[in-house]
Structures are given as structure tokens and as C-alpha cells.
């Protein structure tokens, strides 16, 4: 039977906790990227260990490859998208300056009874002057959005450094976390860590599995519609499908680009197909793949996205729902897990 800690030891723990609180306070603005880096490292740790054992890769190089892999998954599609937009921007600017309509309606659509004439007359008014006037009235919002994008990329870089630092001393960090959990929860500390790891992997499998399915199905339609560099948009759809409305945002950009460059009918068909895939994936495939480990209502995910974005910025759009899903699955697993037998 363990003896309770002495008052001096309790005061020592309190002082240590306060000291750690003051030490970690300057890092509070970067809570989201630090958390993301820790989660990504935990998810990819077993793959890194298999790489080290199979090919005898030194730890420092394996940790570096681990961090660069996560960085490339997010940064490479972003660079491909930006390069695609810049490459195709010159003809769009020339069309704007000429005063021609930005969207051309195919003749078969324009001659459709009732809707064809109405759609053609409305879209004919959408020219460069209208767009420039709209952008001028929303310049503050555009600058704020661009700032969030750069902050997001900076946070991804921080998360990659966290992955490298933790992966460099994985066994030591795991032992320290295990010792801390046992000091906090006693014999149940190891169970808490096991439940957290199992819940995190269950959530990540659901996120990645649905993202791959959505990206392949929707990204294939990008290629059929003639979207330039459609594989990069496919990868972006895979990445952003981890959050509700993420794949829909990429779909809207692609379909808008197709319509603005004269492929109105292809953009319309792509939008219809993409909406059908996203609806089926979110309502049927995501709950099926994720399973009972993360049965979070849709309204909870939506509020966690909005709250995460307000608290942590653009990175919080991912960190917010992930934290909620992980906490819910951990709580459910805790309730199902039996208590350890009392020590004699």
C-alpha cells in the first residue's frame, strides 16, 4: 500500500507545476502546430521504426525523412496549386482587360428553354470591371485571408520541426510520457496512453481513408474535365477532405476556374459529381470507416471547426475537430475499459 506524499513533496509538485506553466506560456500562441506535430509524429512513428529496421537507416536521417514526408504532403500540393494559378493567370488578365465576359456559356446551354436565356444574360454581365469592383470593396478580407494562408504555412513548418525533434528521441520521449501518466493516474496511466494511441489511430484511419476515396473519385473528374495540372488538385482534395467543407472548397475553386476559362458545361458536370461524392462520403463512408471510436455529431464537428479557427487560426480548422474526435473516442474507450484490480 502506497503512502500519501508528504506536505513538502506536495508543495514541491505545486511549485514545479507553476514553473512549467510560466515556461510554457510563451509557447501558447503555437499550441496548434505543436499539437499537430506531436500527433503526426505519433501516427508515423511505427513507419519510421520499420524504415530504420528494414534498411538500417540512422535515426537522424529517419527522423529527417519522417518530418520532410509530412511537410511535403502539405507544402507540395500548395506549391503546385500556386504555380498552376500563376501559369494560367496571364490569359485571364488579358480577357479581363478586353472587357469580354469572364464566363462563356456553351450554345447548347444558352438555347435551353427558360433557364438558358436567363443564365446567359446574367453571366454576360460578369466581366473584369465587375470583378475588380468587387475585389476593391473586399480588399481587407482578401488581405486577411492571404495572411491566414502564410500563417498556416508557417505553422506547418513548426509542426515539421516538432516531428523531427520528437522522432529523433522517440523511445526517450515515450518513456517520459509513460512515467508522467503513471504519476498522474497511477496504475491506469498505461491504459490511458494505450487508449489515446488506439483512438488517435482510429480517427486518423477514418480521416485518411475518406480523404483518399474522395480525392481519387473527385480528382479523376478534374482530369476528365480538362483541369490543368489536375493531379495537384487531386492531392489538395485528399488533404482538405480531412475536415468538413474542405473538399467542397477545392471543388468550388476547380469548377469556378473551369467555368471562367470557357468550360462551363464541364465545370457544371464536375460540380454535380463532386457534390454527390462528398455527400455520400460524409454521410455513409466516414462513419463506417471511423467506426464507434469517434461517434461525434456533425454539429459538434462544425462548431469545433469554427471555434478552432477562431482560437488557433487556420490550423485550428484541422486541430479543432481532431481534438474533439480524439477526446470523445478516448472518453468512450475509458468507459468501456475495466478498472485495474486493486493492489493487495
Residue 111, SS3 per DSSP? coil
Res 68: pLDDT? 92
Q: Each residue of 55-111: pLDDT tens digit? A: 999 999 999 999 999 888 767 666 766 666 666 666 666 666 666 666 666 666 667
> Could you count the other beta carbons within 10 Å of the beta carbon of residue 225?
21
**Phi, psi for residue 127 in degrees, rounded to 5:** -120, -175
Res 66: pLDDT? 93
pLDDT at residue 133 is higher than 70: no
- Dist CA 17 CA 13 (whole Å): 6
Top pLDDT among 174 and 117 is at: 174
| Contact in structure between 142 and 19 (CB atoms under 8 Å) | no
pLDDT at residue 291 is higher than 90: no
Top pLDDT among 261 and 4 is at: 261
Q: Each residue of 143-192: pLDDT tens digit? A: 766 676 777 778 888 989 999 999 999 888 888 888 877 777 777 677 77
- The domain locations on the chain are 31-336
pLDDT at residue 321 is higher than 80: no
**Phi, psi for residue 101 in degrees, rounded to 5:** -60, 140
Res 95: pLDDT? 64
Residue 342, SS3 per DSSP? coil
> Could you count the other beta carbons within 10 Å of the beta carbon of residue 224?
12
Q: Each residue of 189-230: pLDDT tens digit? A: 777 777 677 666 666 666 777 778 888 899 899 989 988 778
Q: Each residue of 244-288: pLDDT tens digit? A: 677 888 898 888 888 777 788 888 899 999 999 988 887 777 666
Amino acid at each position: 500500500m502506497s503512502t500519501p506524499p508528504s506536505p513538502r513533496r506536495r508543495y514541491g509538485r505545486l511549485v514545479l507545476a507553476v514553473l512549467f506553466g510560466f515556461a510554457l506560456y510563451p509557447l501558447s500562441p503555437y499550441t496548434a502546430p505543436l499539437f499537430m506535430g506531436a500527433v503526426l509524429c505519433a501516427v508515423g512513428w511505427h513507419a519510421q521504426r520499420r524504415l530504420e529496421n528494414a534498411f538500417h537507416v540512422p535515426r537522424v536521417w529517419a527522423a529527417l525523412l519522417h518530418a520532410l514526408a509530412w511537410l511535403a504532403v502539405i507544402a507540395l500540393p500548395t506549391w503546385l496549386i500556386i504555380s498552376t494559378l500563376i501559369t494560367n493567370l496571364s490569359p485571364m488578365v488579358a480577357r479581363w482587360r478586353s472587357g469580354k465576359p469572364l464566363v462563356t456559356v456553351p450554345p447548347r446551354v444558352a438555347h435551353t428553354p427558360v433557364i438558358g436565356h436567363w443564365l446567359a444574360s446574367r453571366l454576360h454581365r460578369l466581366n473584369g470591371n465587375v470583378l475588380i469592383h468587387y475585389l476593391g470593396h473586399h480588399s481587407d478580407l482578401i488581405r486577411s485571408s492571404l495572411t491566414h494562408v502564410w500563417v498556416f504555412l508557417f505553422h506547418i513548418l513548426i509542426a515539421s520541426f516538432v516531428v523531427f525533434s520528437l522522432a529523433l528521441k522517440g523511445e526517450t520521449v515515450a518513456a517520459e510520457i509513460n512515467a508522467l501518466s503513471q504519476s498522474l493516474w497511477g496504475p491506469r496511466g498505461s491504459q490511458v496512453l494505450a487508449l489515446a494511441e488506439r483512438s488517435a489511430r482510429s480517427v486518423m484511419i477514418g480521416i485518411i481513408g475518406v480523404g483518399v476515396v474522395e480525392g481519387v473519385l473527385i480528382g479523376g473528374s478534374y482530369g476528365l474535365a480538362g483541369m490543368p495540372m489536375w493531379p495537384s488538385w487531386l492531392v489538395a482534395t485528399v488533404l482538405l477532405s480531412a475536415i468538413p467543407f474542405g473538399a467542397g472548397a477545392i471543388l468550388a475553386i476547380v469548377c469556378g476556374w473551369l467555368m471562367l476559362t470557357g468550360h462551363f458545361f464541364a465545370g457544371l458536370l464536375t460540380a454535380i459529381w463532386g457534390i454527390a461524392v462528398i455527400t455520400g462520403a460524409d454521410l455513409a463512408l466516414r462513419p463506417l470507416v471511423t467506426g464507434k471510436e469517434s461517434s461525434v455529431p456533425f454539429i459538434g464537428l462544425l462548431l469545433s471547426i469554427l471555434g478552432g479557427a477562431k482560437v488557433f487560426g487556420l490550423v485550428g480548422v484541422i486541430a479543432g475537430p481532431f481534438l474533439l474526435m480524439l477526446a470523445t473516442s478516448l472518453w468512450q474507450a475509458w468507459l468501456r475499459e475495466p478498472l485495474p484490480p486493486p493492489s493487495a
